[in-house]
Structure 1
Amino acid sequence: MKPLLLSVSGSRFLITSTGALYIKDVQNEDGLYNYRCITRHRYTGETRQSNSARLFVSDPANSAPSILDGFDHRKAMAGQRVELPCKALGHPEPDYRWLKDNMPLELSGRFQKTVTGLLIENSRPSDSGSYVCEVSNRYGTAKVIGRLHVKRKLDSWKVAGKGGASRMVGVGQKLIFIFPRSLLLTSQYLTYIHVFNIM
C-alpha cells in the first residue's frame, strides 16, 4: 500500500525555527500517522528526511510538568529576533512564568510568550542575562535555566594605511583612502589594504 503523504498544517500544529513539531490539543486520530521531517536546501534544492516517528495517544493522567524543550545558552546580534524555547508536558496543562536576572519579566512589547517559549523581537545588548522559565501545575514545578548574550552591532571600522594612518568610518558611509603612488601595484610588489575590526 502506498504511504499517505500529508503536509502538517492548521492551528494545532506548529513547526519551530529549529524544526521541532508541536501538536496542541492532541486528538486520537493524530496517532494514526507516522511523522517525518523533510528539509530542502534553499539554494541547491537538495532534500533530506528524518526517520519516521509514531505518536501513541492515551488518556491523560495527572502528572507534574516535565521539560520537553529548553536551552542552556543563546547568542544573537543586536536587532535579531531571538527564540528561547521552553515547553513542558504535564496534566493539567501547566502555567508558564518567565524571569530575567531573578526578576519577573513583563511579557509585552518586544517580549512575547509563544506556544514554544519566549520570543524577543529586535533584541538589544541590554537583553543579555539569565533567563528562567518556571513551569508549574498543582502536581509540581519544573524549570528551564539559560543565558542569553546579545552582541552589539559593529558601529565603525578602522582602516590602516602606511605609517599607521587611520580613518574612522560609520557603517553605511563611503570611504576614499588615497595611497602614495609609491604603494601602487608594481611587478615586484603586491600592494594590499588590511582592514580589521576594532575589538
Structure 2
Amino acid sequence: MKDLKERLRDKSRDKLAEHLKSSGISAEIAPRGRPEENIKGPWWGFFLRSLGLIDVAEGPISSIHVVKKDRGKNSPPQWWYIFLIPSEIPMAHNQTFKISTVRRKSFPIFGKVLEVHWKGNDWGTGLARALSEDQQINAFVSKTGDVSIRSHKKEFHGWLIRTKRFDLTSDDWKALQKVVGRLLYIAS
C-alpha cells in the first residue's frame, strides 16, 4: 500500500528540486509539516493543497512552496510556486503590500504578450513603476505568466512572490533575484 501511495504521489516538488540542483542552486526537499505550508494564496486557497517546501540554501530566497489545485470537472490540474523571502517589513498590522502584473496581449488569452506593467498597493515606494520599466523582469513575466508580490505576516514574516509557471533558466533566476533585491531594499 505504501509503495502504491508513493507511486501516485505528485512529484512536482521533487522535479523542481532536482532541476534547481542541476542548475547549480543548492536546494533540498524540506520535511513536511512546517507552518509555511499553510501559505496558499487568495480567498480560494481552500481548493489548493500544499505539495511541500523546497529549502534554498543560498541567497535571499529561503524556500519555494509548491501548491496544487487538483483537476476539476472542466479544468486541468494547476500548480503555483510561491517564493518565500524572509524580511522584517516595517508596516502596520492592517497594512498589506500587494502588487501584481498585468499583461497586455495582441489577442486575448492566446495572443503574444506585448506589454507588461505592475499595479497594486506598493505603499508609495515606486516599486510597481520600477518593475514595469525593467526589461529583464518583463521578459521573465512574459514567459512565466502573471506574477504577484505581497507582504506576509502570519505563518511567515517577509515577502511572497507567487507565479503559476516556473521553468527555471539562468535568466529567470537572475530576474527573480533582481526582484528580490528590490524588495529587500524597500524593507531596509
The TM-score range, normalised by the shorter chain, is under 0.3
More strand by share: 1
Bigger relative contact order (CA 8 A; separation at least 6): 2
Larger Cα-atom Rg: 1
TM-score, normalised by the number of residues in structure 1: 0.23
More helix by share: 2
